[in-house]
């Protein structure tokens, strides 16, 4: 069984949350699953990086913005691999380029084109948990690219497609997909299951729970997603055909 689990920024917001995620993925791996963990930058890191970049140069080159912003996910990946290591399980952190995620050259909004090489498969076969930095890849000329805000979801779905994972779970700070933002509308109702197309319409209308390209990619490759709470791990919303 091959499983991709993605953890968003709020789900990695402090040491306790990182260790809780590490325990969940380690349990799965101990049960014999091959686990690929995709991580976002912690908390508000990406916003802070963007503000810090703007403070030195409000019109910084897109190439350099990508090099700088991608570091947020790289920090999370190293930290998560060490958290898993603290539980006595082998893990390896991989940046987008180490993982082989090749993109086009559109800095700040790159599209994933292929998974090059077999680094992830090799690490999994050696019994390790692969922790992949989300939101990034490598473009033409070996430059670092980023996938657009919220793009770690798309990293997770792309890896699930390329590696033929049976499960792709998106762990977040809400317990599923709602018809309205549950943090603003207490009366919002949660979907047990939602189609790709309905999900895309919700995103068009402002829902931020999933990156739009992750849903398109899931639809195009027939990947079923589950959006669920990192706090409880209780069954969430299935996004599927």
First CA to last CA across the chain, in angstroms? 21
Give least dist CB 161 to ligand ASP, A. 17
Sign of the CA dihedral with 197 first, then 177, 103, and 64 last: positive
Give least dist CB 86 to ligand ASP, A. 24
Nearest alpha-carbon partner for 107 in 139, 155, 135: 139
Give least dist CB 38 to ligand ASP, A. 9
CB atoms within 10 A of CB 165: 22
Find which of ligand ASP, Mg ion, none residue 9 binds, CB within 5 to 8 Å per kind.
Answer: ligand ASP
Q: Tell me the chain's radius of gyration from C-alpha atoms.
A: 17
Nearest alpha-carbon partner for 135 in 105, 158, 165, 114: 158
Find which of ligand ASP, Mg ion, none residue 237 binds, CB within 5 to 8 Å per kind.
Answer: none
Quick check: 137 binds ligand ASP (CB under 6 A)?
no
Encoding tokens for residue 237?
Answer: 């919303």
Task: State residue 155 phi and psi, 5-degree precision.
Answer: -55, -45
Give least dist CB 57 to Mg ion, A. 26
Closer by beta carbon to ligand ASP, 10 or else 33? 10
* Extended beta strands in 49-95, E state: 91-94
Stretch that binds ligand ASP, among 16-24, 55-63, 146-154, 197-205 (CB under 6 A): 146-154
Q: What are the residues facing 35 on neighbouring strands?
A: 3
Quick check: 150 binds Mg ion (CB under 5 A)?
yes
2 to 21: interface string for ligand ASP, x by CB under 6 A: ------xx------------
Stretch that binds ligand ASP, among 20-28, 97-105, 124-132, 150-158 (CB under 6 A): 150-158
Q: Are 101 and 36 in contact (CB under 8 A)?
A: no
Stretch that binds Mg ion, among 14-22, 59-67, 142-150, 187-195 (CB under 5 A): 142-150
Quick check: 75 binds ligand ASP (CB under 6 A)?
no
Query: In the 8-state DSSP scheme, what is residue 130?
Result: E
Q: With contacts defined by CB under 6 A, how many residues of the chain interact with ligand ASP?
A: 12
The site for ligand ASP (CB under 6 A) is made up of: 8-9, 40-41, 46, 72, 134-135, 149-152
């Amino acid at each position: 069984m091959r499983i991709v689990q993605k953890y968003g920024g709020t789900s990695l917001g402090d040491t306790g949350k990182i260790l809780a995620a590490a325990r969940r993925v380690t349990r799965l791996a101990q049960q014999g699953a091959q686990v690929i963990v995709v991580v976002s930058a912690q908390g508000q890191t990406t916003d802070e990086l963007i503000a810090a970049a703007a403070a030195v140069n409000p019109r910084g080159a897109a190439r350099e913005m990508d090099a700088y912003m991608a570091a947020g996910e790289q920090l999370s990946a190293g930290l998560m691999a060490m958290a898993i290591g603290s539980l006595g399980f082998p893990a390896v952190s991989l940046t987008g380029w180490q993982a082989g995620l090749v993109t086009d050259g559109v800095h700040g909004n790159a599209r994933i084109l292929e998974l090059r090489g077999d680094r992830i498969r090799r690490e999994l076969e050696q019994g390790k948990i692969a922790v992949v930095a989300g939101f990034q890849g490598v473009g033409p000329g070996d430059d670092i690219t980023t996938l657009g805000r919220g793009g770690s979801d798309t990293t997770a779905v792309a890896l699930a497609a390329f590696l033929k994972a049976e499960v792709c779970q998106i762990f977040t700070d809400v317990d599923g997909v709602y018809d309205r933002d549950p943090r603003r509308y207490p009366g919002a109702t949660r979907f047990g299951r939602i189609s790709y197309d309905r999900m895309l319409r919700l995103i068009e209308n402002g829902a931020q729970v999933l990156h739009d390209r992750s849903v398109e990619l899931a639809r195009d490759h027939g990947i079923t997603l589950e959006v669920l709470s990192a706090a409880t791990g209780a069954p969430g919303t299935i996004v599927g055909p």
